[in-house]
């Protein structure tokens, strides 16, 4: 899977969980400020990503994750 395809797949999951328009899911988008996502949304998103990408993310790894790009990098590093 190319980087582009991986990001598209990531984006689909984010759109489904966060219920935001696809064009708002950019690497710079901040969860709280730009996507109206709270801490539970982030947990839900990570769960869905774990499922889609067949990876495991520990709760401690979520500390400091504030943007789509950071979350994406966290997942990609495990693939």
- Answer for the pair 70, 48: CB distance below 8 angstroms, yes or no: no
- Answer for the pair 9, 16: CB distance below 8 angstroms, yes or no: no
Choice between 8 and 16, CB closer to other proteins: 16
Quote the least distance from Cβ 42 to other proteins, whole Å.
9
Residue list 10-49, contact with other proteins (CB under 8 A): 18-19, 36, 40, 43-44, 47
Choice between 51 and 73, CB closer to other proteins: 51
Count CB atoms within 10 A of the CB of residue 47: 13
5 Cβ neighbours under 8 A, 6+ residues apart: none
Per the annotation, the verdict on 36 as an active-site residue is: no
Q: Which residue from 9, 50, 69, 70 is in contact with other proteins, where contact means CB under 8 A?
A: 50
């Amino acid at each position: 899977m190319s980087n582009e395809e991986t990001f598209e797949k990531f984006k689909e999951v984010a759109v489904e969980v966060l219920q935001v328009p696809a064009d708002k899911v950019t690497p710079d988008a901040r969860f709280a400020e730009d996507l109206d996502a709270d801490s539970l949304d982030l947990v839900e998103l990570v769960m869905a990503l774990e499922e889609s990408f067949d990876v495991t993310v520990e709760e401690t790894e979520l500390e400091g994750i504030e943007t789509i790009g950071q979350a994406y990098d966290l997942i990609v590093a495990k693939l």
